[in-house]
Structure 1
């Protein structure tokens, strides 16, 4: 028998609060009240700075729809500006936002504006720039669509509920999470399928004997991780067999692993649309309604059925 539980829950939902509020049209402010602009890099002539040495101020964008504008003025002869968006959850560790690199500005394309939408899930973003060759005039602004937050908690809960519903229906992990699978014994076949794909990585495979002694198996020598199959697996290498031992009474074999869609393997748009349909339906009907098994649910199931998987342990 194979069972599993969540060890580390989802920290960043695959549908952001800003996306959910935009879909719900939940904001009621005027246009001017709903838009805010923050400077990351102040306007001016910026001197040569190598290796993204010009680092802008951080802007809190959590819960907001946001975009970044690079406003380029004149570049001196031979000057250029390479700028990119960086993101962080803790204000300390910064990484490059995928798709956040602006087109390099030179004399040929200066005095122009570039805009990139920020679609990540981090709390803070900033702009970093390399200025090469000569001084260049430019600035970087972060534009956020602000909104009423009275129902933010409710909408956030609906996002989580929609994800959990879609995960239960499809049998897939829709956002990165740490799981642990439990087995009573090693299987007769040469592999173990791990629930809730897509599999990202395996942290450990352990087994406990009847005396309580736990042994950790060696990756690549005693097992191979298969992240390419629809349902991820740990597989025996050629000529290797599962360990023979007298097992502990309860759940003697444990596989800890990380699963879920990610930036390099994004969640399918059809699943996202199903989540948005659920969020909208629950938001509009905050109490039990008669159409529980009606057209909305059929539409959601039609979208999710495209990605439903079965695992066999």
Structure 2
């Protein structure tokens, strides 16, 4: 089913600190702080690149997933959250044909599992999601929190290493593609792609 994802609350911190990267790049910080903003932007870009490649969130962040409807089929009633690792479902709302917003009640109207690679939402046993005719534009909105944890220490070491390699490459080669999200994963170096492929989530 088609869906749209919107970032609501970005991560409070990055997996790598400015000091970590400056030390890795051997930047003399005693006399040169002119490139702090540039290096900081590389950290953010590397994190976004790696997250998009893996379909994961690293540091805790909040997203909204908009759907055109609830699933109809009893055999495929569960909704997968397309970004790992799911922490919590904040809310599930839907609009009726009049545009009135309704909120589903946790446990009574939906159940959540975050034990798998992707989190899943389904109706409780013996129940179904609302089958009403819904508002025509993105009537179902699921707000969720995801990520490995709240701090850099929660992010796997291989992800940080991949980020470091990307940052070092971009720092030394300043003429790069501006829209990093549009870069095809095959353009990653073999080392970086190998590090990120270990925990990549394949979305159908």
Q: TM bucket by the smaller chain?
A: 0.7 to 0.9
Deviant stretches of 4+, over 4 Å: 292-296
CA contact (8 A) 1:277 1:296 kept: no
CA contact (8 A) 2:170 2:176 kept: no
Q: Is the aligned partner of 1:201 residue 2:201?
A: no
**1 CA distance for matches of 2:128 and 2:135?**
19
CA contact (8 A) 1:162 1:279 kept: yes
**2 CA distance for matches of 1:171 and 1:293?**
12
1:181 to 27, 43, 65: 65
CA contact (8 A) 2:59 2:150 kept: no
The equivalent residue for 1:236 is 123
Q: Is the aligned partner of 1:273 residue 2:161?
A: yes
The equivalent residue for 1:2 is 3
Distance change in 2, residues 1:28/1:209 (3 Å):
closer
CA contact (8 A) 2:93 2:140 kept: yes
Shift of 1:229: 1.3
2:78 to 179, 191, 202: 191
Shift of 1:203: 0.7
1:286 to 149, 171, 174: 174
The equivalent residue for 1:80 is none
- Runs of 5+ unmatched residues, structure 1: 30-146
Paired residue secondary structure (1:225): strand
Q: Deviations 1:49-80 (Å, cap 9, x if unpaired)?
A: xxxxxxxxxxxxxxxxxxxxxxxxxxxxxxxx
Shift of 1:28: 5.4
Q: RMSD between aligned alpha carbons?
A: 2.3
Q: Deviations 1:146-186 (Å, cap 9, x if unpaired)?
A: x7422110110000000111011111112211100011111
- Give the helix-richer structure, 1 or 2: 2
Give the alignment of 1:1-313 within 5 angstroms.
1-27=2-28, 29=30, 148-187=32-71, 188=73, 189-263=76-150, 266-288=154-176, 297-312=189-204
Q: Larger relative contact order (C-alpha < 8 A, sep ≥ 6)? A: 2
- Runs of 5+ unmatched residues, structure 2: 178-183
Which has the greater radius of gyration? 1
**1 CA distance for matches of 2:8 and 2:34?**
31
Distance change in 2, residues 1:214/1:18 (3 Å):
same
> Greater CA deviation, 2-11 or 149-158?
2-11
- Give the strand-richer structure, 1 or 2: 1
**2 CA distance for matches of 1:247 and 1:4?**
19
Across the two proteins, how many residue pairs are aligned to each other?
A: 193
